[in-house]
Structures are given as structure tokens and as C-alpha cells.
Amino acid sequence: MARWRLVLVAFSALGATSACGREPPPPAAAPTGAEGVAAALNVCDESAASYERAVCATPAMVDLNAQISRALVAEAESVSDEGAQLLIQNQRRWLAAQRIACGVIDPAAELTAEQSQCLESKLRERAQQATAAVSEAGGYTFQTVEVTDAQTLSAETAAATGLGDAAPPAVGRDIRYPRIDNANTPQLQRFNQLVAQQPQYRLEDATEEQVNYQIAFAGPELISVRFDLYENALGAAHPNTDFKAVTVDMRTGQPLAAASVFREGSGWERYLTTRAMAALTAQFRDQGFRPPQSDVRDTVTKPQFWLITQDALVLLFPPLTFGGAGALGGAEVRLPWSDLERYISPEAPAPIRRTEA
């Protein structure tokens, strides 16, 4: 048991520093096996920090913590020791951030009824998230990496936002991206580097950030990931949303390039532009908007706006990328691979290139 107390002490230190926006140090020891992971996640242990023991002060939160622990222990069975360590690090960092997000300034203070209700609500959501921390697709084991932090909003910063008493108690970030576990080849390692997402703001900037992802396709030759981004500068008129794709040619470990998809000189640029113009014009007809062809062409020819699925190329049009006002939001145009067959390079990765069934 002494070993796991050392692990818990290390993670308590992690919780104290992560809320300041710095990358946490690696744990002092890497727990292995179901018992080790469960012990490191046991926030109700007698050696845990006072805040964590306070979280365990009500039966409802004890039960929710147990649910989260069981789910993460089960997920740990599908990943390497390094992956298990990351599961624990994610959870400890998340829990530290929720303390601040719920307005618990003093970790040693007794929780108010409002703070307890806030924490219980967040733990309830977390219990659902924990069951999806690891997934299998295309022969890969994907694991969610989380950059979750919060910082108390100072009186000066709250005043600067113009929100006054309506300002939230804290500002936070919740950034998620995939990681391939047991990345033992240069291509797998490069994928992990390319999809890693970093905060764009300091917590002191009073701007909330969220990043979520969805794996659109995963196979031996290609992985395509969609990222949805949200930022809200406190006091701004409205939040901003954005989305993008990161697609990696797993044969090389490099970002997917246009030359790896379409035959040079085939006229694919013109075809994509024409199809996208027609689809976007129809989509925004009620608003009386027809996108400028030059803006549409500029977007459709950039691979960072190509989401690859099994059956189609999805052209992404984030807000302001197709000549429309921000109020129009974003759009997507889906083109089946069968419609693009005459433009596709014979060297394109599957599923872009048709393979024998």
C-alpha cells in the first residue's frame, strides 16, 4: 500500500500545478494491472488530499467515483502501461480542474451545498465519458488525451470582461485529441504528433476553450480525424466555433497531400469547386446567399478541409471560409468516391483508392 500512497501523493501534486495551465509532470511511478490503476484512482483513500476526501463526503459522489474508477480500470485493460498511466493522469487533472470550476477556492474548506451539487453534476457527466476513453478502429487502439485545466477568475479580470456579478467563478479549457496506444513505428508516432492539439490561449486571457474530435475513418493506409473547436472570450458578444480535419497517410506518416489523392492535370480542382458551389448555393438559398467561386475554390483545394470517410470525401467549410458572414455558420459538402473516380490517383491510399473486396 505504501507504493500507491506515493503514487497518490505524486498525483496530488499534479492536480495543484495543472490548474495553472502548465503541462503536468509524469507520475513518480507507472501503476500497472487492474489493482494498481484502481489504487491510483482511489480519491477516497485516507492519504488523499483534503479536497478529494471532501468529494467523497456524500454517498452519491462516492458511488459516482466508484463508477468512474471501474470504467477506467476496464479501459486500462485495453492499453499499454503507458496508456494506463495516461488514463490516471487525465482523471486526476480533470478532477483538479473541477474543484476550481465549481468555485472551491480553498482545497481544505468544507464544500457548500452549491459546490457539492456542482461537483456531483460534473462527476455524473464524467461517469459517462469514462466508458469511451479507449476505442478500437481500423486495427488501432485509440485513447483520448485530455488537456483539462481551470483557473479562478480574479476580480480585476471579471471587471475587465464587463460581466460583473454575472462572471463565472473560473475560466477553463477542455481539449481532447486521439492518441494511438503502443505507437511502435515512426508512422504511428508521427500520427500522434500531427493530431496533438494545444491551447491557443492562456487561462489569464479569460477565454474558454474546447476541442473535441471524431475519427471519421481509420484503416491501414489512412486515418482521418475531425476536430470541432469552440472558444468563448468572456464578455464577447458571442462565442466562436470552427472545425477542421487532420488526415494522415499512414504509409508515410505524413499529412495527406492533394498529389496523393488526385491525378495531376485531371481537372479535379474545377470539379470540386463546381460541385461545392451548387451544393452551397442550394443550402443557403433561403438566405439569398451565393458564395464567391474564388473563396470556394480556395477552400476545396486545401487538404485540411478534407474529411475522409469510407464512402465519400466530405468538404468542410468552417465559418468565414466560403465568403459568407459568420452568422451563416459552417457547412459541409459530401461527394461520393464513385463520383470522383475519374480524378483519383491510382496511388491514392484506401479507402480513396478502390480496393478489391
| Domain boundaries, given as residue ranges, for the chain | 1-130, 258-343
Top-tier CATH class for 258-343: alpha beta
Could you read off the pLDDT of 156-182 as tens digits, one per residue?
Answer: 888 888 887 778 889 999 999 999 999
Q: Is the dihedral of CA 234, 174, 22, 200 positive or negative?
A: negative
Counting beta carbons within 10 angstroms of the beta carbon of residue 56, is it exposed (0 to 12), middle (13 to 18) or buried (19 or more)?
middle
Tell me what pLDDT residue 50 has: 73
> Taking a C-beta distance cutoff of 8 angstroms, is the pair 88, 27 a contact?
yes
pTM of the model: 0.87
Could you read off the pLDDT of 62-100 as tens digits, one per residue?
Answer: 899 999 999 999 999 999 999 999 999 999 999 999 999
Can you tell me the mean pLDDT for 302-307?
97
User: Across the chain, what does the average pLDDT equal?
Assistant: 88
DSSP code per residue over 10-27: HHHHHHHHHTTTPPPPPP
Confidence band for 49, pLDDT divided at 50, 70 and 90: low
What 3 state SS string does 234-301 have? CCCCCCEEEEEEEEEECCCCEECCHHHCECCCCCHHHHHHHHHHHHHHHHCHHHCCCCCHHHHHHHHC
Can you tell me the mean pLDDT for 184-211?
96
> Taking a C-beta distance cutoff of 8 angstroms, is the pair 65, 55 a contact?
yes
Could you give the residue ranges of the DSSP H alpha helices within 138-185? 155-161
Could you read off the pLDDT of 102-159 as tens digits, one per residue?
Answer: 988 887 778 889 999 999 999 999 999 999 999 999 999 999 999 999 999 888 888 8
